[in-house]
A and B are shown apart, each in its own frame.
Chain A
Amino acid sequence: MSGASALGLQRRRLSRWGLLLAIVAGVAVTAGLFSVTPLQGRADFLVVAVVLVLAAVTAASWSVEGGRAARNRLATGLALLALALALLPLAFVLGYTTLRGLHRFTGGFLTHSMAGVGPLSTGGGVYHAIIGTLEQVTLSSLIAVPLGLLVAVYVTEYGRGVTATAVRFLIDVMTGIPSIVAGLFILAFYIIALHRGFSGFAGALALTILELPIIVRASEEMIKLVPAGLREAAYALGVPKWRTIVRIVLPTASTGITTGVMLAVARVIGETAPVLLTVGDNSFIHTNPFAGAQGSLPLFVFQQAGSSSNFDVQRAWAGALTLILLVVVLYVAARLLTRRNTLAQR
């Protein structure tokens, strides 16, 4: 050991205690600064402390280990800081919504509509909006899932040349279409040009545009994972290509595709902008999605949030909590399903 250091092969390293000391020194200097100078406030303290701790660790490392190791420590510290900066607001979003939402998140809230609820009323709920959202998302999935599967099959199994490349490229571009533009398109096409008026189905059409590219991509990835040997075995048995796809490739990929569909549904269930322009909103329970204005959960949150009444704002938070719970349930279910997906396990 001593021989190695005599040869200069072993670099001196900052010990764990040295690191701790540098961190404590950084915090202590910050505390000193805040007691002596006019600096104050919890947030300011945190900012100054983080900067000083990073500086102290880098300086300590520089004096003991040299410049290269010090830069390495600084980079590690900055990466950790980035992680903290990213997780903090996200934790606040979920935590604060839960905190405020639980106030009004009751059985009555979930089972009542907004029919006859005045500006000063504490009652009312999201029942009508949940019905609307579930119907709209189901309808859009009924269109987007088969269509998306067919497009994915085309792109992976049949598509060759310029057309297939173009379709793949356009699907990528479609993921970038702003949700409000999808809503505007249905407004221009279905509601204005075809004179259909607002309805849950119009909302479903707008959601379909957003759901389609997500489903295509997820299915495409899964179909690509199906082992070539399985296909070849089927061909060797004389099975036609289309039956191979329908009876072997798609069933093998089905778990992964289901996961993709659930994630796509989780993505569009909270889309507000497209439904804002297409479903028309309704505070009564309206179960027919094909005619007449319908409610929607994200739209409910948006409208209650924009109100000046405190009761409305409370309902907005409870609605937001409902929405998050729906998304989380879908997401966790999709993840649990992934565990059973033998294809995706590398």
Chain B
Amino acid sequence: MTVGALAGADPGTLSDRRSRRGDAAFAGITRAAGLVVFALLGAIAVFLVVKAIPALRHDKSSFWTTKIWDPDVSGRFGIAALVFGTLLSSVLALAMAVPVSLGVALYVTEYAPRRISRLLGYLTDLLAAVPSVVYGLFGLFFLLPRLVGLQSWLAARLGWIPLFADPSGQAREYSKSIFGAAVILAIMVLPIVSAITREVLRQADPAIKEAALALGATRWEMIRTAVLPPSRPGIVGAVMLGLGRTLGETIAVALVIGNTFSTSWHILPPGGATIAANIANFFGEAGALGRSALIASGLVLFAITLLVNFLARYVILRSGREERSTV
């Protein structure tokens, strides 16, 4: 079929000139498309800044340190509590998800038979595509009620650690908390981090792995000496990409977090708020100034995630290989 199409091109100088012009035009078009990417990212930054300015100008309190979100009525709002909640819930989520993801990735690449490994690969990819609103629904109606037991256990046994302290005693009841948000975030980010880690571990040099085994190393010793050390930068990159994902996660968190504005380290009692969830929860009732304030908070989120993603890509690039999982 293609041969027939090729034969249709007439030979000769006329066609040469035409094809050269065609080449230049096509190259120009694709180049323009590439530049659209630049323009798009630039436009995102510019428009967020421009539309955030009105709110920042009218803010009657300090934007960076205030822990209230009331732009439309009192004109007082700030992102201190939001940034705090965003970082705290994301870091907690990764603390739970990363060890498990690493275990899964190790199992899939080093232990599982090929067929099971492929099946698990499909499964994790599919689960990465389950919409966040479904996770949110699941978290709200299934997970939170069942977390109460774990919460009261943590508060009773580990309450002396400030993180698990429960001065009000409310953690023993059903509640929307930072902890609940972190657990659902951990579940959501698990397939993503394990998929990227899996790709990283796959790059380990098989010759070195076999050499380790030939020297009599057990499988675990082989993993520790031949797989993990060269994969470390890639794993760090995977964790940071996961962090980027949890920082910006909106809907699932909006459904399971308490929506109170404080910078308390207690994660068990009801409360907590994140930038993204705050946007989802307050957008409906926001006036013109309120929308502008939400855009300002979104700009901060954009800057944070951009920074995290830049760092992640930098770490991965510097490790000398390209892990470009589609997840």
A and B from one assembly? yes
Which of A69-77, A118-126, A134-142, A284-292 is the contact stretch?
A: A69-77
* Chain B residues whose CB sits within 8 angstroms of the CB of A169 once the complex forms: 313
CB of B48 within 8 A of CB of A234, answer no
Q: Which residues of B contact A97 (CB under 8 A)?
A: 134, 137-138
Q: A86-B104, A189-B43, A270-B130 are in contact. Are A180 and B276 (CB under 8 A)?
A: yes
CB–CB B220/A75 < 8 A: yes
Asked if A263 and B194 make an inter-chain contact with CB atoms under 8 angstroms apart, the answer reads: no
CB–CB B133/A173 < 8 A: no
- Cβ-defined partner of B137 (8 Å) among A85, A240, A305: A305
Q: A187 is contacted by which of B19, B140, B255, B291 (Cβ under 8 Å)?
A: B291
A192 to chain B: closest residue by CB: B51
B9-51 vs A, CB cutoff 8 Å, 1 = contact: the mask equals: 1010000000110110111011111111110110110011011
Contact status B37-A174, CB under 8 Å: yes
Q: Number of contacting residues on B, CB 8 A?
A: 98
The stretch from A20-28, A48-56, A87-95, A107-115 touching chain B is A87-95
Interface pair A83/B107, CB less than 8 Å apart: yes
Name the B residues within 8 Å of A344 (CB-CB): none
Q: Specify the chain A residue showing the minimal Cβ separation from B127.
A: A90
Whether the Cβ atoms of A72 and B291 lie closer than 8 Å is no
How far, in whole Å, are A182 and B279 apart by their CA atoms in the complex? 12
* Complex Cα spacing A170 to B39, Å: 11
When A90-B191, A180-B298 are in contact, do A76 and B280 touch as well, CB less than 8 Å?
no
B312 cross-chain contacts in A, Cβ below 8 A: 176
For A193, what are the chain B residues with a Cβ–Cβ distance below 8 Å? 47, 50-51
User: Is there an interface contact between A159 and B34, defined as CB atoms closer than 8 Å?
Assistant: yes
For A79, A209, A221, A243, which residue has the most chain B Cβ atoms within 10 angstroms? A79
The residue in chain B whose Cβ has the minimal distance to the Cβ of A234 is B6
CA distance A313 to B99 in the complex (A): 34
Cβ–Cβ contact B134 & A302, under 8 A: no
- Chain A residue numbers with a CB within 8 Å of B35 are 167
The verdict on A317 contacting B137 (CB below 8 Å), with A78-B103, A180-B279, A323-B131 known, is yes
Q: Which of A89, A179, A243, A269 has its CB near the most chain B CB atoms (within 10 A)?
A: A89
Query: Is B64 at the interface (CB under 8 A from chain A)?
Result: no
Determine the chain A residues whose CB is within 8 A of the CB of B122 once the complex forms: 335
Given known pairs A68-B218, A83-B103, A243-B19, the reply for A184 and B132 (CB within 8 Å) is no
Closest to B103 in A: A82
Q: Specify which chain A residues have a CB less than 8 angstroms from the CB of B125 in the assembled complex.
A: 263, 331
B38 near A166 (CB under 8 angstroms)?
A: yes
Given A240-B20, A243-B22, answer yes or no on A306-B255 (Cβ-Cβ < 8 Å): yes
* Cα(A248)–Cα(B123), bound, Å: 33
Q: Determine whether the beta carbon of B48 is less than 8 Å from that of A172.
A: no
In the complex the two chains form, what is the Cα distance from A107 to B47 in whole Å? Answer: 44
User: With A83-B103, A86-B190, A240-B22 in contact, do A151 and B37 touch (Cβ < 8 Å)?
Assistant: yes
The listed residue (A173, A174, A218, A240) touching B326 by CB distance below 8 A is A218
Question: Bound state CA distance, A77 and B71, in angstroms?
Answer: 53
Question: Which residues of A, 193-207, contact B by the 8 Å Cβ criterion?
Answer: 193
Against A, the Cβ 8 Å flags (1 = close, 0 = not) of B220-261 are 110100000000000000000100110111110011000000
The contact of B295 among A93, A178, A184, by CB within 8 Å, is A184
Bits for B193-219, please: 1 = Cβ < 8 Å to A, else 0. Answer: 010000000000000000000000011
| CB–CB B138/A167 < 8 A | no
| Shortest distance between the CB of B61 and any CB in chain A (Å) | 22
Judge whether A327 and B141 touch: CB under 8 Å. no
Complex Cα–Cα for A79 and B116 (A)? 14
**Chain A nearest CB: distance from B84 CB in Å?**
18
B287 close to chain A: CB less than 8 A: no
Contact of A214 among B241, B295, B301, B326 (CB under 8 A): B326
11 A-B contacts (beta carbon < 8 Å):
A74-B220, A79-B110, A82-B101, A82-B102, A176-B241, A179-B248, A180-B250, A181-B44, A221-B326, A240-B23, A276-B280
- A sample of 18 more A-B contacts (CB under 8 A), given A273-B276, A327-B131, is A79-B110, A86-B103, A93-B138, A97-B137, A150-B33, A170-B38, A171-B37, A172-B324, A176-B241, A176-B248, A181-B298, A181-B301, A181-B305, A184-B279, A212-B40, A241-B23, A302-B251, A335-B122
Give the A-binding residues of B (Cβ under 8 A).
2, 5-6, 9, 11, 19-20, 22-23, 25-27, 29-38, 40-41, 43-44, 47-48, 50-51, 99-104, 106-107, 110-111, 120, 122-123, 125-127, 129-138, 140-142, 149, 187, 190-191, 194, 218-221, 223, 241, 244-245, 247-251, 254-255, 276, 279-280, 283, 291, 294-295, 298, 301-302, 305-306, 308-310, 312-313, 324, 326
